[in-house]
Structure 1
Amino acid sequence: MTERESERAGPPQESPVRPDDPVDDMVTEDSRSGSRGEGSATAAPRSARSADHKRRMVVGIDGSEASRTALRWAVAEAQDTGGEVHAVAVWHQPLQFGANALARTPPKDFEDEARAWLGSAIEESGEPASAVHTHIERGDPSTVLLDHAVRAGLLVVGNRGRGGLAGAMLGSVALRIARHASCPVVLVPAPEHGVTNA
């Protein structure tokens, strides 16, 4: 900056920044990361998510009792907080080899099964089907759920732990989600156990 430009700019101004202000989080994030040069951008932190994203709860449905319990939990939470529930059922077609490859199950059968899981879970939740946004997608469950989490304020998944050592261990999908989600995660175990925040 030249001396003349400095004179036009005037003295530095200070802006009050409150601790609960998302801008404060961005300044803190930027100062930790170091300078990126003129014209660079920093991604907004979680606290700067839009109000719509904060209200959206994504729930993974896989047909298990734990996933149905997770949906019931999310529906109750949405009723208490004014949130909206997005139930996501993910299906994939396993690779088949040998004699099984000739009698391959059509992809539509896997999609229909996922649709049935979703319908059953919504019916069991007691919520009208029109009140729950449904998504049926083909792919890797953790990848699809993590993609949906980008637009969510909360990701809710069931955990099939059985108590003891088995109960302390997360399944591979739950573990990957807990480690990589861009929003808070709630792991809902089988009904006989409590809820765990990740």
Structure 2
Amino acid sequence: MSGEDRFTIAVGVDGSAESRIALEWAVTEARLRHGQIRAVTAWEYPPVTAGMEVMIWDPDIFESAARRIQTDALKGVDTEGVPFTGDVIQGAAASVLLHASQDVDLLVVGSRGHGGFTGLLLGSVSTQAVHHAFCPVVVVKTRPRAHGDG
């Protein structure tokens, strides 16, 4: 980062509660560093199983859905005073975030996304980010609820 560049934080946004917390953390960090945020949301075509008839997928449908996810995640997050951009990119979440990590100073992800193995401490995307990103990575974990909390 040169003296004229702003500290840039990329944050993965997938609509999960964990990514929302990661986004809030990233905005707070950007504010402290007088930096900027780049929210990154990835989208993919759904997996097609063998034996299904050929389907023609309209990418606009999936990209629009990803944009809605990103827009909804931003609602209620105070970004005032923090320069902010949002990117919606086709590709696997881990690949998209790793690519984004090449051009930023910090990558922030939630510990879990929408994957199916909720008992794991880290999801596959956050694990890939930690091991392969081109910049430092912060994995934001939600606090466990205390027993007896409603």
- TM-score, structure 1 length as denominator? 0.62
Q: Judging changes above 3 Å, is the alpha-carbon distance between structure 1 residues 109 and 100 closer, same or farther for their aligned structure 2 residues?
A: farther
Could you say which structure has the higher helix fraction? 1
Residue identity in the other structure for 1:121: A
Preserved CA contact (<8 Å) 1:58 1:148: yes
Deviation at 1:94, TM superposition (A): 2.1
Q: How does 1:1-198 map to 2 (within 5 A)?
A: 49-51=1-3, 55-97=7-49, 98-99=51-52, 101-102=54-55, 105-128=57-80, 131-160=83-112, 166-167=119-120, 169-192=121-144
Preserved CA contact (<8 Å) 1:154 1:186: yes
Deviation at 1:70, TM superposition (A): 0.5
Structure 1, unmatched stretches of 5+, are: 1-48, 194-198
Q: Judging changes above 3 Å, is the alpha-carbon distance between structure 1 residues 178 and 155 closer, same or farther for their aligned structure 2 residues?
A: same
Partner of 2:148: none
Structure scoring higher RCO (CA < 8 A, sep ≥ 6) equals 2
Aligned length: 139
Q: Judging changes above 3 Å, is the alpha-carbon distance between structure 1 residues 51 and 179 closer, same or farther for their aligned structure 2 residues?
A: farther
Alpha-carbon deviations, 1:82-134, whole Å to 9, x = none?
A: 010000001010232344644x5532221111101111111231225x83211
Preserved CA contact (<8 Å) 2:10 2:38: yes
Q: Counterparts of 1:191 and 1:75 in 2: how far apart (Å)? A: 19
Percent of pairs with identical residues: 35
Q: Judging changes above 3 Å, is the alpha-carbon distance between structure 1 residues 105 and 190 closer, same or farther for their aligned structure 2 residues?
A: farther
Q: Describe the SS at the equivalent of 1:66.
A: helix
Residue identity in the other structure for 1:114: A
Partner of 1:16: none
Q: Counterparts of 1:53 and 1:192 in 2: how far apart (Å)? A: 37
Superposed CA RMSD: 2.5
Preserved CA contact (<8 Å) 1:53 1:153: no
Alpha-carbon deviations, 1:51-79, whole Å to 9, x = none?
A: 46670000011111100110000011111
